[in-house]
Amino acid sequence: MAYLDDVCLAGDYRVVSAALGRLTAAARQVGLRITPSKCELIPCGGADAAVDPRAFPQGVQINCSGSFTLLGASIGSVAFCEQHTLKERVTKAQPLLLALAELPDPQTALLLLRHCASYCKAWAQAALSTTHGGLGLHHASVHAPAGYAASVVATHGLCRLLDPTYNSAATTEAIQAFNHVLPASEHVPIPAPPTLRQQQLSEALDKIVIAKLAVPCPLCDGVADCFGVHAPCGGDRTKRHHALRAILAARAKAAGFHTDVEKPGLLPPRPEDGGAGEDGGSATNGRRPADVWVGNWGLLGPAAFDLAVTSGLRSGHLPSIAADGRRLTILALVAEACSGGWGPTALKTWKELSVALAVRNNEAASVERERSLQSLAVALQRENARAVLRRIE
């Protein structure tokens, strides 16, 4: 019997109780079990909150302190959060920092401190927008100038209508403050165009973070991406590609599309191969241009999705003709290996796929889109991290 971990339910205690009952029943059907003694009930109002413990299975722990941890993060009083940070972060980091100080080569110690033992690059990656392979968890302190500058520019005209003597110095100062954190090539002109949006400004800030995520390849000292994934040895790039392919296939199937992974027979054999298949086998295997083939992709009919984790895809690889003479639409879904950002065709595809998922799941399309991009970002960076770990062992 397997156990279900890390599930969070929130709301009125009656709603939570009902949801827990449904979750328990559904888990039991697939062989999972919920252990009440490992469940924690946290009333938001503390000890004074009106919660009937009889609404929950016997053994559920009730925490009325107002302080708790959620997925490793501390929530509650200042003292609780400080103690949790000291125990789980500071104390555990001390042995590593002391070991760095004992290294005979100070340059090696400095390199390790900068790239491994100090500020977490994974968190910097997560703070990027989902279109750049992050989780969209923008730091308010970093993006506050962008939000303020965009707001001042957007409301400038309305302010002048309300007060003809309105001083535009505030707009100029806001743009100057924003430009101060950007390289000269990315500066916003003064006066700023009225079409300026915060999304554009945040995009410029994300580029600064992406440019800082860089380390040399530990295997060959060649130019590597920001996670050290450089050489194709060991099949790391293939594993990363297949991880993204699995997410695409699963979400397309969940949206109701007819999917097939690595579907054969879509293209005729190459004439120069003498009838050999793309994998070097017999011609009956056929060439396989589709990482994921969707047989009912809207008005386009059948579509072949070709995933690529690279800096780009040559245009000569995009159009192809199916074996039976019909036009086969091949959509190149290109992700940048360093940051995980997706190309225009890929972003359009994720949007269309999310609309279909939203209809089936009774969820907002924007939520499904963010969920897809976050899943892809996590999978990409997980495989990057796996490759890095193999290179430092």
Query: The domain containing residue 328 runs over which residues?
Result: 233-388
CA distance 388 to 232: 12
Residue 337 lies in a domain: yes
Q: What is the rounded distance in angstroms from the CA atom of residue 217 to the CA atom of residue 222?
A: 6
CB 323 within 8 A of CB 317: no
Does residue 251 sit within a domain? yes
Chain centroid offset of residue 150 CA: 25
Nearest Cα neighbor of 154 from 96, 208, 210, 200 is 200
Q: Are residues 255 and 360 in the same domain?
A: yes
Residue 227, in any domain of the structure:
no
Does residue 383 sit in the same domain as residue 244?
A: yes
331 - beta bridge partners?
A: 305
Q: What is the DSSP letter of 104?
A: S
Whole-model pTM: value is 0.49
Q: Are residues 241 and 336 in the same domain?
A: yes
Same domain (yes/no): 25, 170? no
Pair 283, 316 in one domain = yes
Among 212, 244, 267, which residue terminates a domain? 212
In the chain, the amino acid numbered 106 is P
Give the C-alpha separation, 134 to 138, whole Å.
Answer: 9
Do 145 and 252 belong together in one domain? no
Whether 297 and 339 map to the same domain: the answer is yes
Q: What is the residue-level pLDDT of the chain in tens, covering all 393 positions?
A: 455 566 788 888 888 888 888 888 888 888 888 888 888 888 876 656 677 888 888 888 888 887 888 777 788 888 888 888 888 878 887 888 888 888 887 767 776 776 666 656 667 777 888 877 788 888 888 888 888 888 888 888 888 889 888 877 878 888 888 888 888 888 888 888 888 888 888 888 888 887 776 555 555 545 454 444 454 556 777 888 888 899 999 999 999 898 888 887 776 665 555 544 444 444 444 566 778 888 888 766 788 888 887 743 333 344 433 334 446 678 888 887 766 788 888 889 999 999 999 998 888 998 999 989 989 988 888 887 777 777 664
Maximum pairwise Cα distance, the chain: 80
The residues near 326 (Cβ < 8 Å, ≥ 6 apart) are: 302
Same domain, 369 and 238: yes
C-alpha–C-alpha distance, residues 156 and 170, integer Å: 9
Q: What are phi and psi of 3, to 5 degrees?
A: -115, 145
Is residue 121 in a domain? no
Element (DSSP H or E) covering residue 335: strand 327-335
Does 276 share its domain with 176?
Answer: no
Q: Which residues contact 205 (CB under 8 A, 6 or more apart)?
A: 142, 143, 146, 181, 182
In this structure, are 37 and 158 located in the same domain? no
As a whole number of angstroms, the distance between CA 232 and CA 42 comes to 48
